[in-house]
Amino acid sequence: MKPAVDASVRGKPILPTRLCGPILSVVLFGCALSPTAAPAAPPTTQPVADRAIPYSTGVRINWARLTVEVDAKIVLRHGPLELFACTPHTREHESILAVYAHPVRIFEALGLIGLEPGNPTTYDPPSGRWRPADGAPLRIDVVTHAARTEQVVGIHRWMNRGEGGPLQRRDWVFAGSRRLPDGRFAADLEGTIIAVVDFDSALIALPETHTSDNSALWLTANTPKIPPLGTPCVLRFSSSQRGRTRAFVHPDGSLRLANQPIGIAELEARVRAQLTKDPGAHLLLVPIDPSAAAHAERLTRKLTKRGLEVITRPAPPGADAPPT
């Protein structure tokens, strides 16, 4: 898919975000689009209530947990996907959820809980390639209710890798979409709220590239896991650090947590204890150098078979390794 809008005009705040901070940036950007917008603010004279309060139509903020909730409805249970969530009358034929909030209001709410927008996937004509999206890493859960019980799962559980089985947990990124030359928000026009393929208007995306060619779409709906069509649900956005236990893997296969050695049984017990409080709790394994990668993969397979959700991510180049 070639970009539909001018990639030289970014949908970013008037001031540089790293100088003025994500909250001020989002307020400035939101005000530029809608002078009447009145951002919510957490209470300052009393303890913050642990509940989501309205921010805009279909959007709520839980200031105690720093999460954003967005109302949605299931509109697709079968077939290949280009998005996980879109706005109505745009791409429901290739998106599991329809969201009735304006994407720009979701953008503002994510900024108000301290998340920094980055850049959507962009097409580079000279190379003929797409550049991956970037931005603050996100955890995204979907919340449904059955028999008066709240069910919370990561959105990856509702998708399959084609014939490759269920999609594994991964971080999403707050790409931020962009503003067009006429001042409109690209995701508001195209409905691209959570994209799973390359869209240069995506509000939220993966930090990797995947073609939008219909003959090569990499994800399909995981039909048995998705409730019936029309079921109301809530998307819950937060920092990817929420519910995460991070352990470093060393070349000898040993593990360290918070700079202390830890055995695999104790590490597993810690994650399971967290699961009793947060159904989205998971483990991040970080091999400190390439020679530790095989050990990290072995541990990932072992713990996944035991029912834990595990992400493996190499330490960034040049990053300081944890003390040994």
Report the alpha-carbon distance of residue 102 to residue 115 in Å, rounded.
18
Going by C-alpha positions, the residue among 204, 201, 205 that lies closest to residue 185 is 201
256 forms beta bridges with 248, 261
- Residue 10's pLDDT is 39
Report the alpha-carbon distance of residue 276 to residue 263 in Å, rounded.
21
For residue 125, the surrounding DSSP H or E stretch is none
Sign of CA dihedral 126, 216, 103, 60: negative
Would you say 206 and 38 are in contact if contact means Cβ atoms under 8 Å apart? Answer: no
- Residue 43's pLDDT is 53
In order along its 324 residues, the chain shows pLDDT tens digits of: 444 444 333 333 333 333 344 444 444 444 444 433 444 555 555 666 789 999 999 999 999 999 999 999 999 999 999 999 999 999 999 999 999 999 999 999 999 999 999 999 998 889 888 899 999 999 999 999 988 889 999 999 999 997 778 898 889 999 999 999 999 999 999 999 999 999 999 999 999 989 888 778 899 999 999 999 999 999 999 998 888 899 999 999 999 998 899 999 999 999 999 988 888 888 999 999 899 999 999 999 899 889 888 888 876 554 444 544
- Residue 2's pLDDT is 40
Annotate 237-258 with b (16+ C-beta within 10 A) or e (fewer): bbbbebbbbebbbbeeeebbbe
214 forms beta bridges with none
Residue found by looking up tokens 């508001």 in the block: 188
Structural tokens at position 320: 């300081």
Which residue ranges make up each domain of the chain?
A: 17-239, 244-312
Structural tokens at position 54: 């309205």
Report the alpha-carbon distance of residue 206 to residue 172 in Å, rounded.
5
- Residue 61's pLDDT is 97
Instruction: Using alpha carbons, list the distances in angstroms from residue 314 to 132, 189, 197, 261, 324.
Output: 17, 37, 23, 19, 17
Structural tokens at position 117: 């927008």
Would you say 130 and 121 are in contact if contact means Cβ atoms under 8 Å apart? Answer: yes
Report, at the CATH architecture level, how domain 244-312 is classified: 2-Layer Sandwich (3.30)
- Residue 99's pLDDT is 97
CA atoms within 13 A on the CB side of 262: 19
Would you say 58 and 99 are in contact if contact means Cβ atoms under 8 Å apart? Answer: yes
